[in-house]
Amino acid sequence: MPVVLRNLAPDTAFDPRVMWEKEKERVAEQAAEAKADAIAAKKSGGKKAPKAKKPTKKEEMIAKNKLEQEEKDVRADLEKLENASKNNKRREKLGGVLMATKLATPLGKLRQLLMVLEAELANDDQPAVLDVLWAVEANALYHQALRDGDAGDGGEAAKKGKDKDKKKGGKDDKKKAKPATPAAALVHEFRKEVRAAKKLRKELELAEFQLARMHDRLPPLSRFLKGWRLDAWQKKVLRHIDNGKSAVVCAPTSSGKTVISTYTCVANERVLFVVPTEPLVWQVAAMFEKLLQGSARVALATNQLAYRPSEDRSRVVVGTPLALESSLVKIRGQVGEECTSTRWDYAQLDGGFDFDYAVFDEVHALDGDEGAALQRLVRYVTCPTLALSATIGNASELRDWWQCVRDDAAPGDAVELVEHAGRFINVQNLVLDPRGQLAALHPCAALKVPQLLGDEKLAFAMTPADSKSLYEALAKAYDGTAGLKPATFFGEAAKREEAARDEALAAIEKRTGRAPRDDPKSDAFKAAASARSRITLDGAKAYEGALKQRLYDEAARDPDALAAFLDSFVPDHLRAAEGADAAASTGRFSILNVATQMRSKLLFPALAFHLDSFRCLALFKSLLVELEEAQDARYPEYSAELQAKADEKQREAEQRQKNAARNEKEAEEAARDGFDDGGDAFVDVSAPHPEFVLAPPTSRLSAKEIDDILLELKRDTQGREELKPTHILVRALRRGFAIYIEDAAFSVYRRVVQRLAQQGKLAIVFSDVSLAYGVNMPFRTVMFCGDEGGLLTPLLAQQMAGRAGRRGLDTQGNLVYLGMTWPRIRRLMVGTVPGIVGKTPHFATMALPLALSDACAANALCATADRPMLQRLCAASLAEHAAGARRTAAESDATVAQALAALEKLDLWVGDAEADQNTDVRPKLCCVWELRDYLPESVALAHALPDFMGEFVKNRFNFKKATEDAGSEAVQIAFFAAFLHIVDRHPCREGATPLAQCTWIQKDAARQENWAKWEKIVAASQARLDGVPEALAGDRDALRLPAHADLDGSVFEIAKDRRMPPASAISSLERHVLKKRLWHVGNVLLKMHNCLQLRGEFIALSPLLRKCFTRVKYILSDDINANVDENAILGERVDSSDDLATMATLEEEASAAVAAQE
């Protein structure tokens, strides 16, 4: 595991402690300087400053040595720059090459900037020229050089004076004064370049130019701004963490929340870190493993595994909510056993909730699949907490509920709400035009007037270029827009900034008696003033806000006129498709055409989403097919040419060996003289043509890297994931793209993909929901690849879009919409900011941990659950709090009593704590607890266990024989017929054969009788749950379908036949839904097996559970393997209309089933 985490770790670990300490030092230094200035001014009383003391010989020697070392460092820097310039072969790349050169001295860094300025002027790259010019003018040494005299560009006033002397008949003194310092000489050397850049800047409409062409260079996005300054909201939260207080932070994705969460973990001794998905667990765990350098002791828990690195207590525990709840409450593996056992079990986490701080990342996942478990975890902990959320519509409501939670756990912990509205990088929207070309789509195209007039908070943002376009349209359509003209708006902002600066300088002058400002006529003053003409990212966002406000004002004033105005932004081909057939909106698309354009427009790396795993896989295969076919069409002989070169190299190598054998002495002499005859130059015969590789040349995987990956897949899985070089997954890697989806076959391959994506070596990663939440990878673009209907919620869409343009990893972001209807694109572009409701955390069996803890033997260390903990869990949920409901401590305690009583009513009481191996009931109850997320199924399965034993286990006291019986095909099929009664109750589709009417059941009278028996068991179990008190009612206290309903038999047929239906029989989306159902069945089987296998009266059932789980696992593995086999690639192109038709059918059927049940 440490090796896995090391491989996933980033190349450099960002430590926020360093940044925060520097910030605190900077603030302290400023305060100390201000205090010292005030004291000095008070002491001097206007008198002259005392004369400086003459330095001692020792001080002179130290100063001399220091100066010599600085000169030596300067020479080294200048040599580096000279070598970089000489070695660069492409003029257009020179600026980037120079900036990549690491230098040590201020003079070297100033020369670096001036050389880049020279290079970009030669390239006529206007945005880069202005960017580096402002960087030069912001350079402290440049300012000092200007102050040192009339060196070069700094001598404008002197130059004008000379011109005047000439006109008066005076002589021009040709003998120029020598620059006073090396910096002044440097500035003089590049004076022409600086003047040319300033002339360019003066000629441009500066504000408009920056918005349109420098949107990804606005400070702090500029390539020439080194370091990263903390935002005010980040510093506020960090101070709160330092004080050991709790906070709720709501900020858009890619705004800098990672800095906060990382600091929390490295600044405390023991931290719980909760994330919503498994990929995020791996990324966070790997980051801390790298950051804390061996002292991390990072433990992790997912629904697939749990890992504890050592016998010491783990410093950071990272996991998903449900897995962490199981691992930390520990009613199956009792708390303390991992510390007292003579055998260390790496799969047993440290139990309990003894943490110094708890971080709940992506806390908007309270509405997700594991939202109920997440809400309980928030209640479990008593330490300070940090909740991090994307922008939500009810942040204050969430904070109020969080405060109630903290009041119950640790009174006096005031929860701070910190909201930050602006996304660090606003993204550009792109669609395909009728010619199949990617074109920008303005956010106003998706706006509707009712949205602007409504009360709900809108989630739509504009890039600076979008803001410029909106102003130009407003200026044509409306009067009174002069104040919104970019030059006017930002000019007024600069004046306000200048006035504030003058006021601050005047205050300093008054306090210290010294004037800290430059002469207004000096070149240093002018350079500082020109820097204020630069638009910052915050300034662009303020401009965006002013434009939006004008839209709101016009909506209130004349909604009809504004509706026509907004409609003018809609491209004609999308407007024409407004009410047309779904697929007509953006039509069919070639994924290769899109990828080729994205490569030329520098939009890679990209993350391509489709929530249907199989449609996602089809897109992945389609791109590989199109790339290979296009290469074969353009370069049909390429593979043969590579093979011919390899054969020639082989013959040359063989000939050299023969010659060496005959002339060994001559060969030795030639080697001694340094002679090289070419050697064995390697020819990679399987390499694709570079023109058809999507990754940039500097990031492409070499043959050696591919070989290492193949070895890793084979070694780390004992051959289970071994791939041939010709496998489509490997061929795709060679062309710079990969796929990351939920599957049961390629776990190590997914980690490889995650590592390569983090390293920026993949141009495209195709994914389903797996990479939607919080994963911090350098993706510049997110692609929505097809209509996904009800699979895509507003919150999930917000999270997926948030993967584009990550702060600190990129300076721009893009969203590409492909194969989607225009109404769907509208909803994705401009949606309402969702509020968090939360899943119901209470459920009928929630008292099981307390009951099982009470039943532990006296000499055992009991589990962490106690009555105060359960009282906290029984307090008002987030939804109840939002509705105004509150529960007093007495009411919560009464709910605890009801929960314990419910266990007796459900016949799930512990009974004898000292039961022997064969009668211990606790494994059954632990099974109910582990399946708490499927409450009705868990209760029904608990009561069905004796029937399972009676019908399917004939040798309950002979474990070996029971294991042999479990291998019977007939026994497994019969077990699935009964088991699926409970765990897969889905409505039968219209026209399909219900499970009860399937051939396997109907051909045997005994099976028909068994069907009726199992339906009675289901009905009896549901009747027990129906009597649970309302206070314990959960979201899913009822089975998906009531007893005697017609059940879908698809999963049973799959389990019986050991394979998924052929691709021609069902759509990809139907296959995706079936995969999800099979995954659920396998998950239930696994949890039951793990609970029942150790002891108790149902231990003999565990072999059958294991066999059936393995059966499901292989079905899923075989299906995904069949879909990624090289023979599975089809030449057909992806058609988005398939998605739309299937989605509509499934949504209609689901709605009808729900309505029938109600």
Domain assignment present for 663? no
pLDDT tier for residue 629 given thresholds of 50, 70 and 90: very high
| Whether pLDDT at 407 is above 60 | yes
Do 719 and 811 lie in one domain? The reply is yes
Domain assignment present for 1114? yes
Please report the DSSP string for 730-776 in residue order. HHHHHTTEEEE---SS-HHHHHHHHHHHHTT--SEEEESGGG-SS--
Domain residue limits at 618: 591-635+689-830
Do 1033 and 1069 lie in one domain? The reply is yes
- Percent of the chain past pLDDT 90, that is, above it, reads 44
The rounded distance, in Å, linking the Cα atoms of 146 and 162 is 18
pLDDT tier for residue 1154 given thresholds of 50, 70 and 90: very low
The CATH number assigned to the domain holding 694 equals 3.40.50.300
Tokens of 257: 């929340």
Do 411 and 489 lie in one domain? The reply is no
Domain assignment present for 887? yes
Query: In this structure, what are the phi and psi dihedrals at residue 357, rounded to the nearest 5 degrees?
Result: -155, 150
The 3-state DSSP class for residue 300 equals strand
Number of structural domains (the chain) is: 6
How do residues 985-1023 score in pLDDT, each as one tens digit? 999 988 889 999 999 999 999 999 888 899 899 998 888
How do residues 91-138 score in pLDDT, each as one tens digit? 888 998 999 899 999 999 999 999 999 999 999 999 999 999 999 998
Residue range 395-400: average pLDDT? 94
Do 360 and 489 lie in one domain? The reply is no
How do residues 296-355 score in pLDDT, each as one tens digit? 588 999 988 888 887 667 889 999 999 999 988 877 655 555 555 556 677 778 778 889
pLDDT at 1127: 60
pLDDT at 1079: 94
The rounded distance, in Å, linking the Cα atoms of 1083 and 708 is 33
- The secondary structure of residue 383, as a DSSP letter, is S
Tell which residue, 513, 939, 1037, 606, has the closest CA to residue 804: 606
| Whether pLDDT at 247 is above 90 | yes
Task: Give yes or no for a contact between 588 and 622, defined as CB atoms under 8 angstroms apart.
Answer: no
pLDDT at 859: 37
pLDDT at 47: 56
Residue 42: burial class (beta carbons within 10 Å; 0-12, 13-18, 19+)? exposed
| Whether pLDDT at 156 is above 80 | no
Question: Which residues make Cβ contacts (< 8 Å) with residue 397, sequence separation at least 6?
Answer: 835, 836, 881, 882
| Whether pLDDT at 855 is above 60 | no
Dump strand ranges (E) for 320-409: 357-360, 385-389
Do 952 and 1030 lie in one domain? The reply is yes
Residue 349, amino acid: L
Domain assignment present for 218? no
How many Cα atoms sit within 13 Å of 826 on the Cβ side?
A: 20
Do 963 and 878 lie in one domain? The reply is no
Which has more confidence, 842 or 1133?
842
Do 398 and 463 lie in one domain? The reply is no
pLDDT at 582: 44
Question: Which residues make Cβ contacts (< 8 Å) with residue 497, sequence separation at least 6?
Answer: 532
| Whether pLDDT at 524 is above 80 | no
Instruction: Kindly report the number of other CB atoms within 10 A of residue 9's CB atom.
Output: 19
How do residues 602-627 score in pLDDT, each as one tens digit? 999 999 999 998 899 999 999 999 99
Do 853 and 978 lie in one domain? The reply is no
| Whether pLDDT at 706 is above 70 | yes
The 3-state DSSP class for residue 314 equals coil
| Whether pLDDT at 87 is above 80 | yes
Residue 530, amino acid: S
Tell me the H-state helices in 148-231: 156-167, 182-189, 191-203, 206-213
Question: Which residues make Cβ contacts (< 8 Å) with residue 749, sequence separation at least 6?
Answer: 713, 721, 723, 729
pLDDT at 344: 63
Least confidently predicted of 165-174, 468-477, 766-775, 933-942: 165-174
Domain boundary among 830, 855, 870: 830
Do 409 and 462 lie in one domain? The reply is no
Do 418 and 450 lie in one domain? The reply is no
The rounded distance, in Å, linking the Cα atoms of 276 and 321 is 7
Residue range 841-851: average pLDDT? 88
pLDDT tier for residue 1142 given thresholds of 50, 70 and 90: very low
Query: In this structure, what are the phi and psi dihedrals at residue 306, rounded to the nearest 5 degrees?
Result: -130, 145
Domain assignment present for 577? no
Tokens of 459: 């989630």
Residue range 541-563: average pLDDT? 95
pLDDT at 585: 46
Query: In this structure, what are the phi and psi dihedrals at residue 1120, rounded to the nearest 5 degrees?
Result: -70, -35
pLDDT at 685: 86
pTM listed for this prediction: 0.85
Tokens of 457: 């908070």
Domain assignment present for 527? no
pLDDT at 153: 47
The rounded distance, in Å, linking the Cα atoms of 73 and 1119 is 62
Domain assignment present for 232? yes
Do 825 and 852 lie in one domain? The reply is no
Domain assignment present for 58? no
pLDDT at 408: 92
Do 949 and 995 lie in one domain? The reply is yes
